[in-house]
Structure 1
Amino acid sequence: MNTDIETRLATKEDLQSILQIYNQGIEDRVATLEEDQKGLDYMEDWFSQHNERFAVVVAVQNNEVVGWASLNRYSNRCAYNGVTDLSIYIKREYRGRGIGSILLSNIERIAMKNNFNKIVLFTLPFNKLGQGLYRDTTHD
């Protein structure tokens, strides 16, 4: 595992990096069904919908954001208050280095602390790195 990676809660100052990484995921067509690149206004609106409970975490190496994870609202229905959706995106040149596992472990701890009892996600079947990450049971 990559030991020189630090994780922390994201700030507005991270949005440009988060946006760049998200747009790489859109461009590469392995992590999302989105087709159109997003702009900073989109990302600012997205970030404003997150809070302490629906956290956004960044992975940082040498003062550079190299990945991020977020807990997202699964549904507005009160029956789903204990359910959250998960997103993890890694900067293209850093994929496959264990950063996803670090982010997953961190965001799982935050989810438990915030009283989520279920995390759901969608991963495309041809996203081999994502499939491997979510099947890995050693990240606890």
Structure 2
Amino acid sequence: MEEKTGILSSSSLSIRPAQARDLETIRDIYNQGIEDGFATLESAPKTSGDMLAWFEEHRGRYAVRVAEKGGEVVGWASLNRYAQRCAYDGVADLSVYIARTERGTGVGTRLLEQLERAALEQDFHKIVLLALPFNAAGRKLYRKAGYREVGTFEQQGMLNGRRVDVMIMEKLLGERGAAE
């Protein structure tokens, strides 16, 4: 049931591990993010094959969670490999994408909570993310969840034919992260 404010009540949304049957919807939501041009520097829509390969890379430690409302997937989040060097095995990169119709309703918050639990279970001590500075909704979500802005890479990527800055954010998990 949705409250009048549009914010989801806990009973109307469930978070669960993603399954192969979710990949088409995950792809559709990701492609919305690509099309909107404020959540990723990706420019080409993802294919079913792209998503299958991505999903295979997310076995084991690199969790993918989906948010389900009324039997439909309305958002997803994943832990991704941060770097190939073993020195960074305790650090995960984060992705969060919400269906256009569900943005701002609390889906992202719930996904982050569950993904952080999964990260702790897999012995990650820190989550990092790259965000576009002009993605106000994403920055608000991450700040609310306790992520801090670390810095900005100037002119780090290309988006729609122009160079854009990319902001780095992080959150320490566990005891130290909870205290800060």
The bucket for the TM-score relative to the shorter chain is: over 0.9
Question: Is residue 2:43 matched to residue 1:35?
Answer: yes
Instruction: Tell me: higher relative CO, structure 1 or 2? Use CA pairs within 8 A at least 6 residues apart.
Output: 1
* Pairing partner for 1:85 from 88, 93, 111: 93
User: Match for residue 155 of structure 2?
Assistant: none
Matches of 1:136 and 1:52 in 2, distance apart?
A: 28
Q: What secondary structure sits across from 1:121 in the alignment?
A: strand
Consecutive unaligned residues of structure 2, counting only runs of 5 or more, are: 1-6, 147-177
C-alpha displacement of 1:137? 4.1
Instruction: Indicate the percent of aligned positions where both proteins have the same amino acid.
Output: 52
Q: Which of 15, 18, 36 is the matching residue for 1:10?
A: 18
Structural mapping, 1:1-140, within 5 Å: 2=8, 3=10, 4-137=12-145
Deviating 4+ runs (over 6 angstroms): none
Q: Which runs of 5+ in 1 are unaligned?
A: none
Higher strand share: 2
Q: Which amino acid aligns with 2:119?
A: A
2 CA distance for matches of 1:51 and 1:117? Answer: 19
Q: Specify the SS of the correspondent of 1:122.
A: strand
The Cα shift of 1:52 comes to 2.9
By how many angstroms is 1:125 displaced?
Answer: 1.1
1:43-64 Cα offsets, whole Å, 9 max, x none, are: 0000000013100000000000
Report how far residue 86 of structure 1 moved.
0.3
- Provide TM-score, normalisation by structure 2: 0.75
Deviations 1:48-102 (A, max 9, x none): 0001310000000000000000000011110010000000000011101010000
Number of residue pairs aligned between Structure 1 and Structure 2: 140
Question: In the alignment, is the contact (CA less than 8 A) between 2:63 and 2:118 conserved in 1?
Answer: yes
Asked if 1 retains the 8 angstrom alpha-carbon contact of 2:65 and 2:78, the reply is yes
Cα distance between partner residues in 1 of 2:145 and 2:45:
33
Give the 3-state SS of the residue equivalent to 2:60 in structure 1: coil
Native 8 Å contact 2:109 2:145 kept in 1: no
Q: Given that residues 64 and 78 in structure 2 are in contact (C-alpha distance below 8 angstroms), is that contact kept between their aligned partners in structure 1?
A: yes
Compare CA radii of gyration and give the structure with the larger one: 2
